């Protein structure tokens, strides 16, 4: 019985921890057009061998590696052994330690290509023009092929800055590399009152097509909706309902501000 209580307490703490995270960037490289184009805001200036989103037809090759759905792919060549992928701007809040996580892997296609790859990650102010001479926050050679590897990077030193992520894949031979699930999260600062029963907020339906209804024990003051890049996309609150009809299908964060504090909830906008 004591063990069950301890497990329940640990689960409750973990749940509160997840709820206390603000998603600043959530990229799965899923593109509706399914034509190798990158998601909005992502760029690859290398015109010879740019990064591109995989098409659904090749997802079966990536699934055994631990990837889900589409990914971003880089294919370096012996004549142009360098590919650069640049993220949209990410606005990191001041205070607290934001965190970057992503998955990457080397694709050998059954041993047809080498099983190691060199890459570097740069995090630079959004207004910076990348030259390649900057110091990366991470640089390494992947030596475990055909496996999705998860990486976690602390962004504490970039607190309060507007930044972009630069993934630089370089090698001297032809090689395939996959990148997926690029996420940047920031801790949501909760006061004592914000963790109490008075701030319990529920939203439904989820997924939603037209309106989201908010169920709150405290009076709702205002709401904001943010897309996966952290950009505010508006919020039309009418009584206890939020209008989401004009949002594009995808993942969003709904912040609900009440007299007792603020809560953040993920929701999906469907067609």
**pLDDT tens digits for 211-256?**
999 988 888 888 888 877 677 887 778 888 999 998 888 888 888 8
What does the pLDDT look like over 24-39, one tens digit per residue?
999 999 888 888 999 9
Give percent of the chain above pLDDT 70.
84
Cβ–Cβ < 8 Å for 163, 125: yes
The span from the CA of 10 to the CA of 209, in Å, is 35
The span from the CA of 59 to the CA of 76, in Å, is 20
| pLDDT of residue 46 exceeding 50 | yes
What does the pLDDT look like over 78-124, one tens digit per residue?
666 788 999 999 999 876 689 999 999 998 888 787 778 889 999 99
| pLDDT of residue 195 exceeding 50 | no
| pLDDT of residue 75 exceeding 90 | no
The span from the CA of 176 to the CA of 106, in Å, is 6
The span from the CA of 226 to the CA of 235, in Å, is 9
| pLDDT of residue 10 exceeding 60 | no
> Could you tell me which of 28, 78, 77 has the C-alpha nearest to residue 53?
28
| pLDDT of residue 192 exceeding 70 | no
| pLDDT of residue 178 exceeding 90 | yes
The span from the CA of 97 to the CA of 79, in Å, is 40
The strand pairing partners of 250, in sequence order, are 269
Q: Tokens 């490289």 map to which residue?
A: 29
Mean pLDDT taken over the chain: 82
Average of per-residue pLDDT across 178-191: 81
214 three-class SS: strand
Instruction: Pick 59 or 16 by higher pLDDT.
Output: 59
- At 172, the pLDDT band (50, 70, 90 cuts) reads low
pLDDT value, residue 47 = 59
Average of per-residue pLDDT across 124-130: 92
| pLDDT of residue 20 exceeding 90 | no
pLDDT value, residue 193 = 38
The span from the CA of 99 to the CA of 108, in Å, is 30
| pLDDT of residue 197 exceeding 60 | no
Look up residue 78 and give its two tokens.
Answer: 């012996």
The span from the CA of 255 to the CA of 258, in Å, is 10
> Could you tell me which of 98, 7, 12, 85 has the C-alpha nearest to residue 52?
85
Q: Is the peptide bond before 205 cis (omega within 30 degrees of 0)?
A: yes
Query: Sign of torsion, CA 44 50 56 58?
Result: negative
- Least confident segment among 63-72, 185-194, 217-226: 185-194
């Amino acid at each position: 019985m004591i063990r069950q209580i301890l497990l329940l307490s640990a689960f409750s703490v973990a749940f509160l921890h997840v709820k206390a995270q603000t998603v600043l960037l959530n990229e799965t490289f899923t593109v509706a057009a399914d034509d190798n184009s990158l998601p909005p805001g992502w760029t690859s200036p290398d015109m010879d061998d740019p990064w591109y989103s995989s098409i659904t037809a090749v997802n079966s090759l990536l699934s055994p590696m631990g990837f889900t759905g589409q990914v971003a792919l880089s294919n370096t060549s012996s004549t142009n052994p360098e590919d650069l992928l640049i993220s949209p701007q990410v606005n990191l809040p001041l205070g607290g330690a934001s965190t970057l996580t992503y998955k990457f892997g080397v694709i050998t296609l059954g041993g047809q290509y080498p099983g190691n790859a060199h890459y570097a990650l740069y995090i630079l102010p959004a207004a910076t023009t990348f030259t390649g001479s900057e110091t990366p926050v991470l640089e390494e050679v992947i030596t475990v092929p055909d496996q999705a590897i998860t990486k976690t990077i602390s962004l504490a030193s970039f607190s309060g800055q507007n930044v972009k992520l630069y993934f630089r894949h370089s090698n001297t031979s032809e090689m395939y590399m996959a990148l997926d699930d690029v996420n940047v999260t920031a801790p949501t600062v909760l006061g004592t009152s914000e963790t109490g029963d008075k701030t319990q907020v529920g939203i439904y339906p989820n997924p939603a097509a037209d309106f989201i209804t908010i169920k709150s024990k405290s009076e709702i003051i205002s709401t904001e909706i943010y897309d996966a890049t952290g950009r505010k996309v508006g919020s039309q609150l009418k009584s206890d309902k939020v209008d989401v009809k004009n949002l594009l299908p995808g993942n969003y964060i709904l912040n609900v501000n009440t007299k007792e504090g603020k809560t953040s909830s993920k929701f999906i906008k469907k067609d």
